[in-house]
Amino acid sequence: MKKKKKYNMLWGNLLFLGPSTLVFLAVVVIPFAISIIYSFSNWNGISNEIKFVGLNNFNNIFSGKAKFLDAFWFTLRITAVSVLLINLLGILLAVALTARLPLRNPFRAAFYLPQTMGGLILGFIWQFIFIAGFPAIGDKLNLGFFTQQWLGTEKTAFAALVIVNVWQNAGYVMVIMIAALSGISSELIESAKVDGSRPLNTFLRIKLPLCVPYITVSLFWTISSALKMFETNVSLTKGGPYGSTTSMALNIYNDAFANNKYGLATAEALVFFVIILAITSVQLYMSKRKESQIL
């Protein structure tokens, strides 16, 4: 009797877990394993000859020969700046749009809208704005700020990417934070008011700490998506000028498909994976600790 039950459970498990396990194996585990094998080779992505070169690819990556470190440094900088701005702006928007404002809902929709567009299209639209739109405004109003070559210099191209990133993603954080803020019990806020707490004080001392779990989610999402930045990068700057805005993902793409260094690219992808894993784990660990301290 007992044995039969066990038998049934096996089939039940297979029925429910089998298909997804299969898919997971086929599209995640197996390709991942294959790419680890390729990362030790000098395969060009096409030919039938594959030569194994040991740790050569990794050597090239860490000795700075492969440009990966430049891309890593750029990605790190842009992640730091845009994550900070996205979350600050997202929280500010959420605070503003949970207040009793006229046209509150249309505003929420408007700020969320960029999130629903694809990064590639956004990039192309903004490329037009930076190349043609801004100079036109600058000429009319005689403002040098707008007429500069936005995508032509290292610093402004960096700023342009940050602007587009923040504009695209702040809405998402806003939605999460609106959910957080409206989930706070009004009794708490009211009792704070009765105790004489000012609005700013209430926000910093009561609302924000209660939102920490949501901030953890937002941070995790913004950090990992900023580290993986690719489409806006490709369509807005193509990594230019002179390769100064090449993100890690774009660099891997270039090595795999333009430079025909497939082996090197898979090695870079592995390093990329480890970097993202490390950064997001540290962030999650720290935020969770913060959460347990506060709540």
Residues forming contacts to another protein in the complex (CB under 8 A) are: 6, 10, 13-14, 17-18, 21-22, 25-26, 44-48, 60, 65, 127, 130-132, 135, 149-153, 238, 240-243, 254-255, 257-261
Q: Supply the minimum distance, in Å, between the C-beta of residue 266 and another protein.
A: 13
Q: Supply the minimum distance, in Å, between the C-beta of residue 271 and another protein.
A: 18
Q: Supply the minimum distance, in Å, between the C-beta of residue 175 and another protein.
A: 33
Nearer of residues 67 and 290 to another protein, judged by Cβ = 67
Report CA torsion sign: 277, 280, 284, 290: positive
Closest CA to 251 of 75, 47, 53: 75
* Burial classification of residue 276, based on how many CB atoms lie within 10 Å of its CB (0-12 exposed, 13-18 middle, 19 or more buried): middle
Nearer of residues 218 and 233 to another protein, judged by Cβ = 233
3-state secondary structure of 92: helix
3-state secondary structure of 242: coil
Nearer of residues 149 and 191 to another protein, judged by Cβ = 149
Nearer of residues 147 and 197 to another protein, judged by Cβ = 147
> How far, in Å, CA of 17 to CA of 12, rounded?
8
Q: Supply the minimum distance, in Å, between the C-beta of residue 158 and another protein.
A: 14
Give me Rg for the CA atoms of the chain. 24
Closest CA to 61 of 227, 265, 278: 265
Q: What is the dihedral of CA 247, 81, 241, 144, to 10 degrees?
A: 160
Q: Supply the minimum distance, in Å, between the C-beta of residue 275 and another protein.
A: 22
Which residues are bridge partners to 52 per DSSP? 41
Nearer of residues 14 and 84 to another protein, judged by Cβ = 14
> Do 247 and 75 form a contact (C-beta atoms < 8 A)?
yes
Q: Supply the minimum distance, in Å, between the C-beta of residue 18 and another protein.
A: 6
Nearer of residues 42 and 197 to another protein, judged by Cβ = 42
3-state secondary structure of 41: strand
